[in-house]
Amino acid sequence: MSTAPPGADELERRIAAFLAAHDPARTERTAFLRARFDAGLAWVHFPEGLGGLGAPVALQHGVDEAFRRAGAPTNRPEANAIGLGMAAPTILAFGTEEQKRRFLRPLWTGEEIWCQLFSEPGAGSDLAALGTRAVRDGDSWTVDGQKVWTSMAHEARWGILVARTDPDVPKHRGMTYFVCDMRAPGVEVRPLRQLTGEAEFNEVFLTGVVVPDEHRLGEVGEGWRVATTTLMNERVAIGGRAAPREGGMIGVVAGLWRDRPELRTPDTHDELLRLWVDAEAARLTGERLRQALAAGSPGPEGSAAKLSFARLNQEISGLELELLGSEGLRHDDWTMRRPTEVDFTRRSPGYRYLRAKGNSIEGGTSEILRNIIAERVLGLPGEIRVDKDVPWKDLPK
């Protein structure tokens, strides 16, 4: 007989019992996180044994808040956003039981960081045009190619990889999805210096990298379908994150407005009000989106959340510089850093302004997202695609 998933009251009892048995002040951080995962209090909507209890996803925020109030250590989601927001839901949807049990626990605890090996120099917005090859050799695959814009590849233990396994069929049908060991022979990570002066992302060269078939996610040739799940979750993870009122960038600028009255002008007052309303509307829309997702997987509506996030971050960071004038142009940590996380709120205004420029590129360019919204949400006619039924090998390179 199946057991009904726990509700809010039952979760409160389980959290209280867990904290009584695992004092956050006395339990070593990794041990605490592992125990929380094993108790089903990591992703409460995941199945039992995989960090969850099969509870409604809407209860997750309350669980996280209860642990925060107790002073419990976090799994530092800012350092493993790709793993938590993209790899985990894809593994849950397409992974074998062995893959789920191998990868999900150290992913959630932060013991293993993940990166995304999708984009290539000739296949960014058109991901399906990618040319990295994976050739089968018995129970393994040999991968050769180049990936680019790979955030946190320098920290990652694993990478989610899409490669071409059949060049004789149209581009969307000849790809396969893998989990790649970033420590395997033949994996070379080179830093890419950004507008901010640091190297948060990289280019990755794959030369004769052996990937066991047991690290394949989904069926051979089904890589586009699996990758779509990843991309839809990515856009929700970037643009639909849970946040309190005045969370994120709008809180930084609103705080500046309150603390520095000498910076205020009538024009910037009106602009701040407009952006505050836009940010609050985006926050509430994101909350509604997360509630809708409790009943299924992310769809194209996540593209709208990510598109709004990029626009708002860029406009808000621009207003911050307008308020500060020449003071805001100073970027106080212009060094060739190799960061372990992306953090907007604790950095300088100059950094925020420069880094926000990437928000309309990462996770799908704003132009591509507008196409998705137009075609899949509004039902407008799609763009003409002359390469849809042409084998990949015959496409212009």
Q: Which amino acids are annotated catalytic?
A: 234
Contacts of 82 (CB under 8 A, 6+ apart): 114, 115, 116, 151, 152, 156, 160, 234
| H/E element, 143 | strand 140-151
Residue 202: strand pairing partners = 150, 191
Give one DSSP letter per residue of 100-111, joined into a string: HHHHHHHHHHTS
* Length of the chain measured in residues: 397
* End-to-end Cα separation, the chain, in angstroms: 57
Report the C-alpha gap between 192 and 147 in whole angstroms.
Answer: 12
SS3 134: strand
DSSP state of 373: I
- Of 35, 14, 13, 38, the residue nearest 24 (C-alpha): 35
Which stretches of 11-71 are assigned E, i.e. beta strand? none
Structure token digits, residue 130: 């990618």
Phi then psi for 381, rounded to 5 degrees? Answer: -60, 140
Report the C-alpha gap between 189 and 200 in whole angstroms.
Answer: 12
- Of 295, 304, 177, 294, the residue nearest 239 (C-alpha): 304
| H/E element, 164 | strand 158-164
Check the CA dihedral 185-172-241-277 and report its sign: positive
